[in-house]
Structures are given as structure tokens and as C-alpha cells.
Structure 1
Amino acid sequence: MKIKNVNIAGLKIIKTKMFFDNRGFFKEVFKNNLIKKNFKFDVMSSSKKNVIRGLHIQTKKPQAKVITVVLGKIMDVAVDLRKNSKTFGKYYSLIISDKSEYSFYIPEGFAHGFLCLSNKCIVHYKCSEYRHKESETTLDWRDQEVKIKWPIKKPILSKKDKIGKNLEFFR
């Protein structure tokens, strides 16, 4: 496994090892010696095509995450909401599928979300902190200042994600 940094400090692509044979594949997803973080909580979500989940953040008890796609293909997005960061309000996105040889590490202080690009997506999240419902909030997926280039105009959204806050709220 190897780590690749991207253009926003803290975000990392974890290059995984995949082993293929006539049965399919075996994939190493995470090793503690690469990212020294105590991950307490693992969750999975299932989504259908054109669903956007996010952009979520916990303002108290923030979570670092490792995102791995188990089935399908997503456009994964992380938005820097760290108040003193040089890249506050900037985002990084990438396409991840079940065939990708990588996972995406997102440290604390980032809003996270994704768009399901295939008929069905199953996404696994390793989280460094438990869910803290009282401080969960959502950045508006179409915030005019962040300007994420989503390849969709009318996604399927939860009630919570339809009323996301603008970037100004997080300053």
C-alpha cells in the first residue's frame, strides 16, 4: 500500500493492493501503519443511481474517514471546512469504483459527500469518531461559492441534504 497526497493538505489517496485470480480478487483496504488514526466506527451505505449523499460534517466530534466503494461507481467529494486552512472552501473530487485500486482518506474538518454514478452503489466508511447526531450538518451540494462540478442537475436527495447550509455558515 502507498499514500498519495493531493492538492488539498490532509486529503490522501490510499493506493491499495489487489490480487486477482480465476475466482475474482482480494483487496487490502487499510493498514494502520500508513495513517496513524484510531478508527472506531465502520458503516456502509447503499444508494441508487443519481443519489447525492452529503455534503456532511460533524461540527463537534469531527470524523476522519476512509472511503471505499464495495459495489458500483461514485463521484466522491471532500470540501475543506477547516477555518484556518489556506484551502478553506475548496474541494477535491475523484471517481472511485469497486474496481479502483484505491480508497480515499478524508481528515477531520472536511464535509464529505458522493454521487452514485452506477445503477447501485455500496460505499464503506471507516470513521475515527462515532456519530454525533446533535452536531451533524450539511453543506449545500450546489453552494455557489464552492462550485462543485457535479455531472447532474436534479439529483435524488434526502430531506436533510435538500436544506444544506451555504459556505458562509461554516466561516
Structure 2
Amino acid sequence: MAEQAQYEELIQQFGAFSAVKRELARILPADCPSGSAAVLTLLGRYGDMRMSKLAELLAVDMSVTSRHVAHLADRGWIDRSPDPADKRSRIVHLTAAGIARLEELSERTTQLLAERLADWSDEEVAQLTRLMTRLRASFDDCRPVPPRLPPPGAALETTTRTPAST
């Protein structure tokens, strides 16, 4: 197991993720914010799906998912149709315009990554991909979460009162 100092350094490096995400967000077209791009990406990767599955994959509330889907539908990039198995649910799928938009977004992000990682070897890029995939899986799995420890220096509260009886 890694030393505490290694975990502390890792926490510091997580700040790099924020910087990368901000840079990627800057190259998105004004009419396609990052939440919308995420929906397009998920539909491109996994195909048609229920709104509830989309919310689960996005790890956001259904109301947030509905706003993203409405934004994309207004632009003609996705369609919503009733789920044949449950008419109350909607199936979301990419339109031809949505596929074209997704391809454009992919080109933009690929180009940015190629520019920023131009001095990385193919093996380094592959290693980063493997490690990030593993990191994500470690947070997505069903391991029990250990109980939270009190903050350092926090005294345990003791009480000397007798419980009230009624």
C-alpha cells in the first residue's frame, strides 16, 4: 500500500484533471456545452438508451439529464421516442445531425490532445489510458466504503447526562 505522502501528492495532481477539463471545455462550440457533449458521447458509445440509463451514466439527477436532452433535441441532434416496453419512458437516440456534431467534437478533442501530448510516446499515452481506466473502475466498483474517521485532533464527545425518561 502506498505511503500517505504518495496519496497526498496524488491529491495534488488531481488538480491537473480540472485544468485538462477546462481546456477541453474551451474548445467546445458555444451551442454545445460540456453536459451536452457528454450526452452525445455516451449515445455515440453505447447507442440508444432510456433517459434513466443516461442519467445513471452521467451520474446526475434526472432533471439535469432532461435539461441536457431538451437542449440537444432543440438543436436536432437527438430524438426522443416512447419506450415500447414502457410508454412512460423515453428512448434517446442520435440523429444524423447529432452524429455529425459528435464527429466534429471528437475531431476537436483529438486534435487538442494530439497537440498537448505531442512529446509523449505512444506507450506513455497507452499507459495513462490504462491507469485512468483502472482509477475510474476503482471508484465505480461496489467496494464497501470504509467508515469516515474523525478529523485529526477532533476530541470524541462524551456526555455525562442521564437519558430522559418519559
TM-score, length-normalised on structure 2?
0.22
Give the TM-score of the pair, scaled to structure 1.
Answer: 0.21
The answer to which structure has the higher strand fraction is: 1
